[in-house]
């Protein structure tokens, strides 16, 4: 019995390679976001400011030295109707890498939208300093861009030069991304 030459047509090899890559691609879970983006100059700075919060009075007014924060939209869930007072100096980031961060809806939980921010090494130390200070004092940090506050989270020390700004929808992601990256 004679065996063939062992050569297969090129099309069969390509088809087998395509199937192998497809199977390999199906065997892992995609990350929440892509690899960190390369930092570049921002059109609008990101400002982090440690704040103290207090509920408004029964009349809806803030006590002396406190104010409300301007949210990007009415009833924006990332910023409550509390009154805030700044503590210390703000930290301003003028360059960063920006990526969309998205997690699809799972187990009747809504989808999570946001922007992943990657700072250059020179600014990463400032992020570590302010988040460590807020963590130890148990205070919140207001995250603002172009005069609008996108969140007032409690945080742990962030030591890798990366953080996320969470929003409620894809439209808000696009609005924030345009504000940060679009030069006028």
- Segments making up each domain of the chain, as ranges: 33-181
If pLDDT is split at 50, 70 and 90, which confidence band does 183 have? low
Distances (CA, A) of 159 to 102, 125, 151, 163: 22, 8, 20, 10
More confident residue, 5 or 46: 46
Average pLDDT of span 17-35? 39
Residue 2: pLDDT over 70: no
pTM of the full predicted structure? 0.74
For 38-56, write each residue's pLDDT tens digit. Answer: 888 999 999 999 999 888 8
Which among 10, 18, 39, 21 is positioned nearest to 127, based on CA atoms? Answer: 39
Class of domain 33-181: alpha beta
3-class DSSP state of 67:
strand
For 123-177, write each residue's pLDDT tens digit. Answer: 999 999 999 999 999 999 999 999 888 888 888 999 999 998 888 888 888 889 9
């Amino acid at each position: 019995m004679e065996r063939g030459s062992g050569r297969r047509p090129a099309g069969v090899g390509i088809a087998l390679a395509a199937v192998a890559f497809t199977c390999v691609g199906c065997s892992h879970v995609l990350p929440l976001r892509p690899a960190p983006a390369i930092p570049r100059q921002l059109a609008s700075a990101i400002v982090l400011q440690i704040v103290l919060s207090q509920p408004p009075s029964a009349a809806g007014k803030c006590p002396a030295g406190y104010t409300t924060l301007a949210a990007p939209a009415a009833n924006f869930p990332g910023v409550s109707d509390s009154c805030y007072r700044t503590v210390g100096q703000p930290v301003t980031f003028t360059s960063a890498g920006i990526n969309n961060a998205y997690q699809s809806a799972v187990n009747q939980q809504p989808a999570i939208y946001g922007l992943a921010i990657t700072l250059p090494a020179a600014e990463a130390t400032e992020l570590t300093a302010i988040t460590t200070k807020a963590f130890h004092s148990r205070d919140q940090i207001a995250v603002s861009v172009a005069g609008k506050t996108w969140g007032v989270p409690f945080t742990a020390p962030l030591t890798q030069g990366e953080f996320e700004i969470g929003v409620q929808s894809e439209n808000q992601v696009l609005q924030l991304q345009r504000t940060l990256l679009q030069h006028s």
